[in-house]
Structure 1
Amino acid sequence: MAIALRVDRTPNPNAIKITADQQLFEGSSSHSFKKNDNPEHQMAAALLKLDGVDNVFGYQDFITINKMPEADWDSLLPEVKETISNNA
């Protein structure tokens, strides 16, 4: 079954919030990963490998992606959505 994703802009132009119709992160704790981390979480690890992604923050059914200032959402967002869909 395909995952449905809703993208919401945030006040920070370098961050977007993506909410899924299923759980992305297990447990009751939030998860935060930076570019040079090696997370065991498969989706977070895949997102951090994308050029332009700086860090990710996730909790249950949503993830916030922060991009590098020089990255462009128009080219990065399709890659982010595909990575989430392929690793959810």
Structure 2
Amino acid sequence: MDLGFRMHAERTPNPNSIKWVLGQPVADGVASASFDAGAVTPEVSPLAASILEVEGVERVYLGPSFVTVTKRDAAEWTELAAPIVAAIKAWAASGESALGPAWEPPESESDDVLVGRIRTILERDVRPYVEQDGGEIRFVDFRDGVVEVLLQGACAGCPSSSITLKMGIEARLKEEIPEVRSVVAL
């Protein structure tokens, strides 16, 4: 089966996540989307629903040109890889959009100047590095000096994410925005 693109797997810092790089857009017009087992139907995301049917898969993150799959601790990649690849290939061959008609993007929070600066730094300086590892960071809120973010994809549950959060993301935001006291992941 000729997919019209090459796909390869990359390890991430999270041993429970693998990033499948497709080299083509995954979710047309959408930066990313994350789905947990038991919380998605084919009407929301045919691709994520198909991958989440694989026993042992816990979460699917659709990035710009990759799919990060997170497994349960007890599951083994040797048993999961083939059915995950088959699901991705079947989706690619189908021509369907990765996001179905029932998918709705998360609500956007209100922006003020400070929040806008935080978002800009996260988008410009942090997101590219997080995406290289198969993950995503999403701004949630800024209140009383505390920036709340949601780590998704390979970053969710990654053993090194707390170090990255404090030493990298928090340090970068504090450097640019003195009003930031800390960064926490939800």
Q: Does 2:45 correspond to 1:41?
A: yes
The 5 A counterparts of 1:1-88 are 1-2=2-3, 3-39=5-41, 40-88=44-92
Over 6 Å off, 4+ runs: none
Determine the C-alpha separation between the residues in 1 that align with 2:22 and 2:40. Answer: 23
Residue 63 of structure 1 deviates from its aligned partner by: 0.9
Which structure shows the bigger proportion of residues in helix conformation?
2
CA distance in 2, matches of 1:50, 1:28: 25
Aligned residue type for 1:67? K
Structure 2: gaps (5+ residues): 93-186
Larger relative strand fraction? 1
Shift of 1:38: 1.8
The sequence identity of aligned pairs, in percent, is: 31
Q: 5+ residue gaps in structure 1? A: none
Aligned-residue offset at 1:21? 2.8
| Residue deviations 1:17-58 (CA, integer Å, cap 9, x gap) | 011032221123310000011241111110111101000111
- Counterparts of 1:13 and 1:56, CA distance in 2: 15
Q: Which stretch shifts more, 47-56 or 26-35?
A: 26-35
Q: Quote the Cα distance in structure 2 between the aligned partners of 1:56 and 1:38.
A: 10
Under a length normalisation based on structure 1, what TM-score does the superposition of the two structures give? Answer: 0.91
Cα offset, 1:4, TM superposition: 2.0
8 A contact 2:23–2:66 mirrored in 1: no
Superposed CA RMSD in Å reads: 1.3
CA distance in 2, matches of 1:54, 1:38: 12
Aligned residues: 88
| Aligned AA (1:58) | L
1:75 Cα deviation (Å)?
A: 1.2
